[in-house]
Amino acid sequence: MESDEKKVMNALGGKKGILDSGLPSLVFLIAYNVSHGLKNAAIAAVITSAALTVIRLARKDTLQHVLSGFIGVAFCAFLARKTGHAANFYLPGLIINVVYAFAYGILNLIGLPLLGLLLGPILGENLAWRKVPARKKAYIRAGWLWVALFVSRLVVQYPLYKSGNINALGTARLVMGYPLFLLAGWGSWIIIRAVPTVKVAESSD
């Protein structure tokens, strides 16, 4: 049986999701420096993503994650080629961080933490956690970790994007990708597991 910790990590993106987004970005950065051409870098990133997609399909992974990863990379490559600016390969990622930061932050402030909405059904408590203050508070506290993650990425990466420093931007994207994801995911799990999950039957009274 899959552990609750693994369920949480997979729901937040998991290692496969990070690989599918991180590896094409790395290939793009390397190809751009080697070939000094945007077209070659974009093609290399798309081919890498396509190869990962084939592997995921062969392993019968969730189709949603497979296709979203490929479509995302393909769009980033298209945007960079269309505008003629290599930095725009990373622009959709910056926009996504803005969206997630607002989503986590606003839902936390109104008392409807996004983590609870995502993880409640996966952990077998559905929305019953909303009636247990301690559990609800745990989801909110964990949610702020993700707000901090997304905001920190923007603070560091947006100035690099504006300056057009592709190497620094690509490196920052990689460094602040998988490592910080693992840190935020691990921190979230530590906070959430400290409060017992809520039995759905308990919420019926």
* pLDDT per position as a tens digit, 106-156: 999 999 999 999 888 888 888 999 999 999 999 999 999 999 999 999 999
Quickly state the pLDDT bin for 179 (edges 50, 70, 90): confident
Higher-pLDDT residue of 123, 60? 123
Quickly state the pLDDT bin for 177 (edges 50, 70, 90): confident
Residue pair 121/178 in contact by the 8 Å Cβ criterion: no
Over 70: is that where the pLDDT of 190 sits?
yes
Over 60: is that where the pLDDT of 205 sits?
no
Q: Residues of the chain with pLDDT > 70: what percent? A: 84
Quickly state the pLDDT bin for 36 (edges 50, 70, 90): confident
Over 90: is that where the pLDDT of 57 sits?
no
Over 50: is that where the pLDDT of 82 sits?
yes
Quickly state the pLDDT bin for 1 (edges 50, 70, 90): very low
152-158: long-range contacts, CB 8 A cutoff, minimum separation 24 = 152/176, 152/180, 153/94, 153/97, 153/180, 154/94, 154/97, 154/98, 154/101, 157/90, 157/93, 157/94, 157/97, 158/94
Over 80: is that where the pLDDT of 60 sits?
no
Helix (H) or strand (E) segment spanning residue 38: helix 38-58
Q: What is the C-alpha to C-alpha distance for residues 91 and 72, in angstroms, rounded to an integer? A: 11
What is the reported pLDDT for 178? 78
Residue pair 114/104 in contact by the 8 Å Cβ criterion: yes
Q: Tens of pLDDT along 4-33?
A: 666 666 666 655 656 666 788 889 999 999
Please give the model's pTM, rounded to 2 decimal places: 0.84
